[in-house]
């Protein structure tokens, strides 16, 4: 499919996972990659686009800083790691973006931020104000306070919700897989790559079920659920490999990279219908 029209996208959400911004062996921040991401996002901003970054990595960076070798064993330890890591991650983003004269803002959310009407409106207004000020919002789940009942659980879903909340027209999910296949390409040599998904039907959902990615909390299934939220809200979504971050340029220049999930705005779209559980005030 001709993707030239992607060049006209104005409000773009980019999601990057923990494994893409940390070194696999040490778990420490992969500064050269983060630097490259920052440079590319600044470049998009410089073309007049509005950019929002959804970045994971709080827990990974935090656990490394406090000297844990494995995954945190308790909820409290995980929350503590996130508190340490989120601050450190933001310091890195703030410093690197500052080199290009770009200001960033930290926005941390839980599912409750979206479920409670007042806080959802506040969050939307804050994003809109930040974008007007040409500040790049750097978003993550508020892992320090979120527990099972109120968490999104993965940043694929969070990034789609952010895209819907701010009325973005494009969501780019950078992943350790280069898009959607008919089956798991690591197990089935006959698995075919899907270039474009027009509608997310049962066949597409079935394709996502067998394919889990190695790291991070979102497998292909969560990416397809994220696409459903983004597409229904009116945003196109592209899943592409984060291996070479220059793919971000390819995507916004309309080249055929990754799998494109086409937007089909549901006029009755209500974000709240896509969230389950949570507690109210
Ligand atoms: N919010 C988590 C973190 O920053 C990551 C969640 C995810 O990878 O989807 O560590």
Distance 4 CA to ligand 1 centre (A): 32
Grade residue 216 by pLDDT with cuts at 50, 70 and 90: very low
- What number does the ligand 1 atom closest to the CA of 143 have? 1
- Å from CA of 8 to ligand 1 middle: 30
**pLDDT, the chain, mean:** 91
pLDDT at position 211, please?
A: 59
Q: What is the pLDDT of residue 80?
A: 95
Does this model's pTM top 0.85? My answer is: yes
CATH of 4-274, one of 3.40.50.12710, 3.30.750.200, 3.40.50.2000, 3.40.1160.10: 3.40.1160.10
Q: What is the pLDDT of residues 238-274, one digit of tens each?
A: 999 999 999 999 999 999 999 999 999 988 899 988 8
Q: How far is the CA of 156 from the centre of ligand 1 (A)?
A: 9
SS (H, E, C) the chain: CCCHHHHHCCEEEEEECHHHHECCCCCCECHHHHHHHHHHHHHHHHCCCEEEEEECCHHHHHHHHCCCCCCCCCHHHHHHHHHHHHHHHHHHHHHHHHHCCCCEEEEEECHHHHHCHHHHHHHHHHHHHHHHCCCEEEEEECCCCCCHHHCCCCHHHHHHHHHHHHCCCEEEEEECCCCEECCCCCCCCCCCEECEECCCCHHHHHHHHCCCCCCCCCCHHHHHHHHHHHHHHCCEEEEEECCCCCHHHHHHCCCCCCEEECCCCCCCCCHHHHCCCCCCC
For residue 268, the CA-to-ligand 1 centroid distance in Å is 30
Q: For atom 6 of ligand 1, which residue has the closest CA?
A: 154
In this predicted structure, the answer to whether residue 65 has a pLDDT above a threshold of 60 is: yes
Please report the atom of ligand 1 found closest to the CA of residue 86: 4
């Amino acid at each position: 499919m001709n993707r030239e029209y992607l060049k006209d996208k104005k409000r773009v959400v980019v999601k990057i996972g923990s494994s893409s911004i940390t070194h696999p062996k040490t778990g420490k921040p992969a500064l050269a990659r983060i630097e490259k991401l920052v440079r590319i996002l600044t470049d998009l901003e410089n073309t007049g686009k509005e950019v929002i970054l959804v970045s994971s990595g709080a827990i990974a960076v935090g656990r490394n800083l406090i000297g844990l070798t494995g995954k945190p064993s308790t909820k409290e330890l995980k929350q503590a790691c996130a508190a340490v890591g989120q601050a450190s991650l933001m310091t890195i983003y703030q410093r690197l973006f500052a080199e290009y004269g770009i200001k960033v803002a930290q926005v941390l959310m839980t599912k409750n931020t979206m479920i409670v009407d007042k806080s959802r409106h506040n969050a939307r207004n804050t994003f809109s104000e930040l974008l007007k000020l040409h500040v790049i919002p750097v978003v993550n789940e508020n892992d320090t306070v979120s527990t099972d009942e109120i968490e999104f659980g993965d940043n694929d879903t969070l990034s789609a919700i952010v895209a819907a909340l701010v009325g973005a027209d494009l969501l780019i999910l950078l992943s350790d897989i280069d898009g959607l296949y008919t089956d798991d390409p690591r197990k089935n040599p006959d698995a075919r790559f899907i270039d474009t998904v027009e509608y997310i039907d049962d066949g597409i959902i079935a394709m996502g079920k067998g394919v889990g990615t190695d790291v991070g909390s979102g497998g292909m299934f969560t990416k397809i659920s994220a696409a459903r939220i983004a597409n229904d809200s009116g945003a196109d979504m592209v899943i592409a490999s984060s291996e070479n971050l220059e793919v971000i340029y390819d995507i916004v220049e309309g080249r055929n990279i990754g799998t494109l999930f086409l937007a089909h705005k549901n006029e009755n779209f209500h974000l709240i219908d896509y969230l389950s559980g949570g507690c109210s005030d």
